[in-house]
C-alpha cells in the first residue's frame, strides 16, 4: 500500500507551505488528510479504483486529484514545483527546537540557509546575530537544539527499533534451521533509545541462517558475513547484528549480550569471588587450571549457578543498583498483562484521529476494562482544544455510548492546560463533571525552575486533578525536560493523592525510569498512559510498561492495574 508514502508526502507539503504565504486552512488540510490517510485500514489504490477517495475525511477534490496523480506517476507536480522554491531540506531546519517555520524562512531569505549544517555554520560564523527578533538566548537555544537532534539521530526511538527487530525475528523464525530467536542488547532492557539491534539464534545450520539473513529484502549493506556472526545495515540505516549460539550456552550468551556493561562487570566481580568465570561462552567453575562448564543453556540456570535470583533484563542497569546487589528479593515488576485500561487518550473532539467509539472499541479489543478520553482543553488551540460548549456535548455522547457498551466503560475526561500561574482551563463546576482530569504543561517552558515547579504543585492541589501528564515535558530527540524541583513535586503528589504519569508515547516516555524510581521511593502512585491520538497508538502501552519496569515499579504502584470498580474509588480524590 502507498498510504504511508502519500501521508508522508502531504505532511511534507504542509510543512513547506508553512514557509510561504499560503492560506492557513489549506496548510491544515494537508496535515489533516495525512493523518486520516495514515490511519486508514484500506488501500488507497482500491479506494481510487472504486472512486471513493472523496469519502476519506479531509480529502477534497484538489487533494483527491493529487492522490490519483501520485498513484499513477509516483509524484505530484505541484509538490515538485514547490520544492524548486522551498527546498525539502528546510523541513529538517524547521524541526530544530526554537526554529519553526518563521525563523526558518528568515534564515533562508536572509542567509540562504537550506540545511541544518548551513544553520550550524551560520551560527559559528556569527551571522544570526543582528537578524530581526534573534537574540543571544535564541541563538544558544538553536545551537542546543542542533546538538540534541544530532545526538538523537545516532540512536533509534524504541518503537522504530522494536518494529525493525520484529521484522527480522519473524523472518528468521520462518527458517526451518532456526530453533530459537531472541532480541538482546539495550532493546531487551527497554531503553528509551537504541544504538543497534542484537539478535541471537539457536540453529541446526548456522551457515544457511547467515546466508538467508544477509539476503533479506530489507538489507541495504552487508558489513560482515561470517558463519556464526553477521552484521547488516537496513535501507533505513539501522544496524542489525546476528549471532548463532550453541544451545548449551545460549543462556550465557543472552545474558552477556543483553548487558548492560556495568551489570556484566558486576557479574564478573561476583564470579571471581566464587572462583567462577562468566562470559558469553558459559558459566565456569574454576579449580586450579581446570574450568568446568556449568549449566548455561538458560539465563535462569546462569543466575542459579552464581547463587543469584533471576534479575529481569530491565533491572540490569545502574538504576537501583544498591538494591540490586543487596541480597534482597527481586520485586514482581508490573507487566503489560496487569494493565486494565488507559486513562489518557484523544479523540476527534480535539486533535485525535478517531472517534470516541472507535477508540473505545480498540481499547476493548486489547482486553481493557476502561478508557479515559481526555481531549485537550480550550486553551491549547494548536491542538484544537475543546470549548466549554463542545465539552458538554462530549459528556453527553460518552453517557450515551456507555449505555451501549458491554463490559467496558469510557471515562469522560480532559487533559487540562496548566497556565503560567498554575491555574486550569475549566471552572470547578465543569471539572467536577469529569471522570478523570489530567493536568499538563504545554507552554512557558522557558520559565524559571521555581515558577514551573509552583505551577505543577498548584495543579496537584486542585481537588479535581487526578494526575499530572508527562510531568517533565521532555520530547526525546528534540527537547530536554524543563527545569523543575522534582522532589517538591513528588511531595505535592503524595500529599494531595495526585498520580504522576508515565507517558508511553515513544517520543515522550516521561517520566523516565530514573524519575519513576525516585518518585516510587517517595510514595508516589503512577498512571501508565499512551497519550494516544489514534487507535493505532494504544499498543504503545508496552513502552510505558518498559519504563515502569526499569524504574522498579510493581503492579501496586500503578493505578491503572486496578479493576474499574477499584479505579473509580481511587478517582474520588
261: domain CATH number? Answer: 3.30.210.10
Q: CA angle, corner 304, sides to 301 and 306, nearest 5?
A: 115
Residues 116 and 147 in one domain: yes
Q: Helix H segments across 53-157?
A: 61-73, 77-85, 90-94, 100-111, 116-124, 136-153
Grid coordinates given for 448: 524559571
Overall average pLDDT of the 367-393 stretch:
90
Residue 32, domain member (yes or no):
yes
Percent of the chain at pLDDT exceeding 70? 98
Of 407, 406, 411, the C-alpha closest to 356 is 411
Residues 61 and 130 in one domain: yes
Residue 471, domain member (yes or no):
yes
CATH of residue 118's domain is 1.10.150.110
Q: Is-above-0.75 flag for pTM?
A: yes
User: Are residues 213 and 231 in contact, defined by beta-carbon separation less than 8 angstroms?
Assistant: no
Q: Is the confidence at residue 293, as pLDDT, over 80? A: yes
Query: How far is CA 261 from each of CA 6, 84, 189, 264, rounded to the nearest angstrom?
Result: 42, 49, 12, 5
Domain membership of residue 460 as a residue range: 336-571
CB atoms within 10 A of CB 93: 26
Residue 331, domain member (yes or no):
no
Q: CA angle, corner 346, sides to 343 and 351, nearest 5?
A: 160
Query: How far is CA 401 from each of CA 18, 45, 352, 411, rounded to the nearest angstrom?
Result: 38, 34, 18, 11
**Which pLDDT tens digit goes with each residue over 304-357?**
999 999 999 999 999 998 889 988 889 999 999 999 999 999 999 998 889 999
Residue 557, domain member (yes or no):
yes
Residue 275 confidence class, pLDDT cut points 50, 70, 90: very high
| DSSP assigned state of 482 | P
Which of 273, 296, 324 marks a domain boundary?
324
Residues 482 and 554 in one domain: yes
Q: Is the confidence at residue 1, as pLDDT, over 60? A: no
Residue 449, domain member (yes or no):
yes
Mean pLDDT of the residues in the chain: 91
Q: CA angle, corner 465, sides to 462 and 470, nearest 5?
A: 120
Residues 175 and 105 in one domain: no
Number of structural domains in the chain: 4
Residues 227 and 258 in one domain: no
State the sign of the Cα–Cα–Cα–Cα dihedral 504, 509, 510, 512: positive
Residue 573 confidence class, pLDDT cut points 50, 70, 90: low
Residues 107 and 205 in one domain: no
User: Are residues 223 and 232 in contact, defined by beta-carbon separation less than 8 angstroms?
Assistant: yes
Residues 309 and 422 in one domain: no
Q: Helix H segments across 218-365?
A: 250-258, 261-273, 299-305, 321-324, 356-365
Residues 556 and 422 in one domain: yes
d(CA 557, CA 523): 9
Residue 330, domain member (yes or no):
no
User: Are residues 160 and 193 in contact, defined by beta-carbon separation less than 8 angstroms?
Assistant: no
Q: Is the confidence at residue 153, as pLDDT, over 80? A: no
CATH of residue 476's domain is 3.20.20.140
User: Are residues 544 and 314 in contact, defined by beta-carbon separation less than 8 angstroms?
Assistant: no
Residues 83 and 215 in one domain: no
Which of 213, 229, 244 marks a domain boundary?
244
Residue 554 confidence class, pLDDT cut points 50, 70, 90: very high
Three-class secondary structure of residue 325 per DSSP: coil
**Which pLDDT tens digit goes with each residue over 497-543?**
999 999 999 999 999 999 999 999 999 999 999 999 999 999 999 99
**Which pLDDT tens digit goes with each residue over 399-455?**
999 999 989 999 999 999 999 999 998 999 999 999 999 999 998 888 899 999 999
Grid coordinates given for 178: 532456526
Which of 215, 244, 273 marks a domain boundary?
244
Residue 39 confidence class, pLDDT cut points 50, 70, 90: low
Residue 329, domain member (yes or no):
no
Q: Is the confidence at residue 156, as pLDDT, over 90? A: no
Strand ordering across the sheet containing 178-183: 178-183, 197-203, 239-244, 229-234, 219-225
Residue 446, domain member (yes or no):
yes
User: Are residues 476 and 508 in contact, defined by beta-carbon separation less than 8 angstroms?
Assistant: yes
Residues 233 and 270 in one domain: no
pLDDT score of 539: 96
Determine the distance from the C-alpha atom of residue 365 to the mean position of all C-alpha atoms in its chain, rounded to a whole number.
21
Three-class secondary structure of residue 232 per DSSP: strand
pLDDT score of 82: 86
Residues 366 and 474 in one domain: yes
Residue 289 confidence class, pLDDT cut points 50, 70, 90: confident
pLDDT score of 480: 83
Q: Is the confidence at residue 140, as pLDDT, over 90? A: no
More confident residue, 254 or 136: 254
Grid coordinates given for 326: 543487596
Residues 225 and 272 in one domain: no
Q: What is the largest CA-CA distance in the chain?
A: 82
Residue 381 confidence class, pLDDT cut points 50, 70, 90: confident
CATH of residue 228's domain is 3.30.460.10
Amino acid at each position: 500500500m502507498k498510504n504511508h508514502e502519500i501521508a508522508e508526502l502531504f505532511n511534507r507539503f504542509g510543512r513547506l507551505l508553512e514557509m510561504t504565504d499560503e492560506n492557513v486552512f489549506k496548510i491544515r488540510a494537508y496535515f489533516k488528510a495525512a493523518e486520516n490517510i495514515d490511519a486508514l485500514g484500506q488501500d488507497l489504490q482500491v479506494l481510487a479504483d472504486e472512486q471513493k477517495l472523496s469519502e476519506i475525511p479531509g480529502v477534497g477534490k484538489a487533494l483527491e486529484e493529487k492522490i490519483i496523480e501520485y498513484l499513477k506517476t509516483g509524484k505530484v507536480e505541484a509538490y515538485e514545483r514547490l520544492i524548486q522554491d522551498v527546498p525539502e531540506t528546510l523541513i529538517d531546519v524547521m524541526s530544530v527546537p526554537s526554529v519553526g517555520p518563521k525563523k526558518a524562512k528568515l534564515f533562508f531569505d536572509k542567509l540562504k540557509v537550506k540545511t541544518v549544517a548551513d544553520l550550524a555554520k551560520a551560527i559559528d560564523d556569527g551571522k544570526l546575530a543582528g537578524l530581526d527578533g534573534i537574540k543571544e538566548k535564541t541563538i544558544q537555544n538553536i545551537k542546543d537544539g542542533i546538538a540534541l537532534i544530532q545526538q538523537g539521530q545516532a540512536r533509534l526511538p524504541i518503537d522504530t527499533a522494536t518494529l525493525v527487530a520484529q521484522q527480522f525475528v519473524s523472518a528468521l523464525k520462518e527458517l526451518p534451521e532456526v530453533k530459537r530467536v531472541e532480541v538482546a542488547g539495550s532493546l531487551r532492557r527497554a531503553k528509551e533509545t537504541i544504538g543497534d539491534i542484537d539478535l541471537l539464534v539457536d540453529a541446526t545450520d548456522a551457515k544457511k541462517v547467515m546466508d538467508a539473513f544477509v539476503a533479506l529484502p530489507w538489507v541495504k549493506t552487508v558489513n560482515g558475513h561470517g558463519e556464526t556472526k553477521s552484521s547488516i545495515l537496513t535501507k533505513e540505516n539501522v544496524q542489525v547484528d546476528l549471532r548463532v549460539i550453541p544451545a548449551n550456552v545460549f543462556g550465557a550468551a543472552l545474558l552477556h549480550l543483553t548487558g548492560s556493561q556495568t551489570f556484566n562487570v558486576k557479574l564478573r566481580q561476583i564470579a571471581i569471588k566464587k572462583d567462577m568465570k562468566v562470559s558469553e561462552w558459559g558459566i565456569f567453575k574454576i579449580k586450579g587450571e581446570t574450568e568446568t562448564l556449568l549449566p548455561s543453556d538458560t539465563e535462569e540456570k546462569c543466575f542459579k549457578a552464581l547463587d543469584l535470583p533471576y534479575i529481569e533484563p530491565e533491572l540490569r542497569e545502574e538504576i537501583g543498583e544498591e538494591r540490586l546487589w543487596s541480597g534482597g528479593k527481586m520485586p514482581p515488576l508490573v507487566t503489560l498483562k496487569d494493565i486494565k485500561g488507559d486513562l489518557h487518550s484523544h479523540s476527534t473532539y480535539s486533535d485525535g484521529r478517531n472517534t470516541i467509539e472507535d477508540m473505545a472499541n480498540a481499547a476493548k479489543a486489547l482486553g481493557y476494562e476502561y478508557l479515559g478520553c481526555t481531549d485537550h482543553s480550550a486553551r491549547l488551540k494548536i491542538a484544537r482544544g475543546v470549548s466549554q460548549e463542545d465539552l458538554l456535548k462530549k459528556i453527553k455522547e460518552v453517557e450515551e455510548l456507555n449505555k451501549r457498551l458491554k463490559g467496558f466503560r469510557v471515562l469522560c475526561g480532559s487533559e487540562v492546560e496548566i497556565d503560567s500561574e498554575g491555574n486550569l482551563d475549566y471552572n470547578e463546576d465543569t471539572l467536577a463533571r469529569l471522570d478523570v482530569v489530567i493536568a499538563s504543561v504545554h507552554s512557558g517552558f522557558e520559565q524559571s525552575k521555581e515558577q514551573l515547579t509552583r505551577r505543577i504543585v498548584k495543579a496537584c492541589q486542585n481537588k479535581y486533578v487526578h494526575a499530572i501528564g508527562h510531568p517533565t515535558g521532555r520530547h526525546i530527540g528534540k527537547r530536554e525536560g524543563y527545569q523543575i524541583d522534582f522532589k517538591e513535586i513528588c511531595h505535592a503528589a503524595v500529599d494531595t493523592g495526585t498520580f504522576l504519569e508515565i507517558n508511553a508515547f515513544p517520543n515522550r516516555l516521561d517520566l523516565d525510569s530514573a524519575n519513576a524510581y525516585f518518585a516510587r521511593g517517595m510514595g508516589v502512585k503512577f498512571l501508565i498512559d499512551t497519550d494516544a491520538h489514534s487507535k493505532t497508538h494504544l499498543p504503545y502501552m508496552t513502552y510505558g510498561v518498559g519504563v515502569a519496569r526499569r524504574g522498579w515499579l510493581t503492579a501496586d504502584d500503578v493505578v491503572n492495574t486496578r479493576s474499574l470498580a477499584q479505579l473509580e474509588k481511587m478517582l474520588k480524590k
